[in-house]
Structure 1
């Protein structure tokens, strides 16, 4: 047990690279989510200014998700091939320019184009982060760093309604887009300037041993389209795609509808609803951090890294289901907020565990590819959730809408449990 890689002393140079990489990933991730949330925060001002209907705003809010989900298909393989430094760096530039261009929008069509471009630019963030973690951390110690880079998501969502409204009030909604776009350009320069992948020839024996690179220097082989296509032959890939669809669907029900739900279904005052809506996302920030750490502990004692990390995803997702039911049915607003806070804590825990699962279930050359395929499944759920929830709530009420989300998440948990059983082997090019 004491010889376990997780218990080895971390060589100083590796520890420094780990700390720098994670700090940069969190900063980029927070900017990523601030940019996604700017439209939601400035929603009323933009609708009034451009004369948009609620339906048109719904289309704008979901446009990002569709291009983001579709780009997950090629982007994972690209990260594995080109590397995270240049792909995340160029993604940052693209999404920051698209974000700044949102501040120049004066028509629905222009806004639609920049939101689609934002989804394309943001696509490399999380597959690149998974690749960085697999490059710099040994296999049984990847949960904690995965939790850390995932914590940027709820942190960005929680910061947006705190930072952006004062800026909008002091200037106009246009400046919320200009400022966040400029922030991303600065981050892109820093990321490309500072981040480096480990270079095998420059590592000493202790560093290679820590990263579990054998003495022959065998690291991840080059990835290609054939190895990406081969991932679809495995039940594990499909289990992860279907499973993440379920957990992200339920998370996005709350991500997109929570303030509206609190005001319309629970009749909360506007100011109180805003505060009540930010509490669960701060819980989500803690959830991502705790889950990463906890999944490392579970993985160290599990029969295999895949089993340990998969079980962590299943437990967190079933917990989301269990607490969504009283959230939907409780009379008390305080009980509902408490239950929703637990759901979002567990949603971010589930997401952190799912990304760390990708780093151990994938073949060495396909970590970003498998993570991106899982994320593609998840964001199909994320794109569907706001539309289906709105339709069900409009036709009946939010109660069946939330219970539908719980049912979809339950099916996701079962997909992980029964389909994700063993890691995917490295693709042999000779096998076709």
Structure 2
């Protein structure tokens, strides 16, 4: 949990440096490219770190990955220009991918089957909590210059490295083995539809996470620090929403029915954010904070659904595909939406984003889940 939250703070919390970047004269599109660098680095190393965890264990992978991320963030702090900063952030994301590859395996190893659902939900709260750390600290630290915020992230990563080395132990490998399925689950459409629906939920989540602060500051007159604090509260609410979604899915014995309803709610909220941009600062603030809470809630549902529909023999590969597709979309969102906001404005762009989760509603394969569970 500590390792995941730390990694998510520098991989997904960088948008809270946006006002400082904008103050240095960068366009939204240019700043968006920098924001996407850690996610791009994450993409290219997820599979490699997973293979390393399979061979050498989770503790070594977590410790070495966080140590390398600390070095990369040190380079980012000392970067003489934005090109060097982008490269350093890319390398930090590539090293931090170790946490995503190994932490889920730790949960599977240390928790029994009847405990893993909630344990994985707790793990999934790391992203909004990491974003909350960024929201609480980075706007204040990086008021006029970037380096104090980057130094904070470097220190946080160093402390997490020490904690992991001292506290994490690999689970004892038991004899639990399941024979490999002779048939790939990808021969049916179910997993592909879950992947596609999950990807369509990314623009709303990362559109809000990346541009909500700039939207409140530039369009509605908020100061960066209080806007960051408000979004930090929303991020904590997002963490609670993930836990609630996991609990809900356990109660109804379904991952995909809640996923479909949440996707519908996100689509409605993004439309409300678009309309709220015209309705004044109070409505705009309330709608964007609600969207910040709800847009992060379905991640755990989709993650669990992929594993369950893939089966034990294929779960690792299927989750690798899920992470890669989602993060590929997440890497593309900041620069694309930055350019779109520059052309259309915030309100119109948020309204357009609503089309993606509404399309996801139609793709969620609830009927296939019912057939699989013999409802």
TM-score by length of 1: 0.74
Matched residues, number: 369
Deviations 1:52-101 (A, max 9, x none): 56543332122222222343355445545554333333222222221121
Q: 1:218 aligns to what SS in structure 2?
A: coil
Aligned to 2:336: 388
| Structure (1 or 2) with the larger CA radius of gyration | 1
1:60 corresponds to which of 22, 34, 46? 34
Q: How does 1:342-421 map to 2 (within 5 A)?
A: 342-417=290-365, 421=369
Cα RMSD of the aligned pairs, angstroms, is 3.3
Structure 2 CA distance for aligned equivalents of residues 200 and 277 of structure 1: 41
User: In structure 2, what is the Cα distance between the partners aligned to 1:392 and 1:190?
Assistant: 41
In structure 2, what is the Cα distance between the partners aligned to 1:375 and 1:30?
17
Please, which moves more after superposition, 54-63 or 254-263?
Answer: 54-63
Following TM superposition, by how much is the alpha carbon of 1:259 offset from its aligned partner in structure 2, in angstroms? 1.4
Match of 2:15 in 1: 40
The residue number in structure 2 matching 1:310 is 256
Determine if contact 2:245/2:298 at 8 Å carries over to the other structure.
Answer: yes
Instruction: For 1:354 and 1:142, locate their aligned partners in 2 and report how far apart those are by CA, in whole Å.
Output: 15
Structure 2 residue aligned with 1:289: 243
1:219 has 2:177 as partner: yes
TM-score (norm 2): 0.84
Residues 99 and 118, structure 1, Cα contact 8 Å, conserved in 2: yes
1:341 corresponds, among 283, 289, 305, to 289
The offset of 1:360, in angstroms, is 2.4
Aligned to 2:196: 242
Q: From 278, 282, 304, give the equivalent of 2:232.
A: 278
Cα offsets for 1:190-210 (capped at 9, x unmatched): 324433343255xxxxxxxxx
Per-residue CA distance 1:352-393 (angstroms, 9 max, x = gap):
222232442333244343223112221222122222322222
Partner of 1:6: none
Please list every run of 5 or more consecutive structure 1 residues that lacks an aligned counterpart in the other structure.
Answer: 1-24, 202-216, 300-307, 425-432
Q: Which of 151, 160, 163 is matched with 1:187 structurally?
A: 160
What's the CA shift string for 1:211-232, capped at 9, x where partnerless?
A: xxxxxx33257x9xxx9x9565
SS at 2:60 equivalent: helix
Q: Deviations over 1:169-196 (max 9, x none)?
A: 7x96434333432432332343244333
Q: Deviation of residue 324 (structure 1)?
A: 1.6
CA contact (8 A) 1:52 1:108 kept: no
- Partners of 1:234 and 1:89 lie apart in 2 by 38
Query: CA separation of 1:200/1:271 partners in 2, compared to 1, >3 Å: closer, same or farther?
Result: closer
User: What pairs up with 1:160-199 in 2 under 5 angstroms?
Assistant: 160-165=134-139, 167-168=141-142, 173-199=146-172
| Contact persistence 1:93–1:188 (CA under 8 A) | yes
The farther-off stretch of 85-94 and 174-183 is 174-183
- Partner Cα distance (1:335, 1:47) in 2: 25
Q: Return the offset for 1:113.
A: 1.4
Pair 1:233–1:94, CA change in 2 (3 A)? farther
Structure-2 change in CA distance of 1:200 and 1:78 (3 Å): closer
Deviation of 1:412 (Å): 2.7
Q: Deviations over 1:267-299 (max 9, x none)?
A: 545555444433422321221222233222233
Asked whether the equivalents of residues 144 and 291 of structure 1 are also in contact (C-alpha less than 8 Å), the reply is no
Alpha-carbon offset, residue 112 of structure 1: 1.8
Question: What do residues 39-60 of structure 1 show as CA deviations (whole Å, max 9, x unaligned)?
Answer: 43444556767x7565433321
Worse-matched range after superposition: 326-335 or 315-324: 326-335
Distance 1:371 1:53 in 2: 35
Q: Report if the CA contact (8 A) 2:28-2:339 is conserved.
A: no
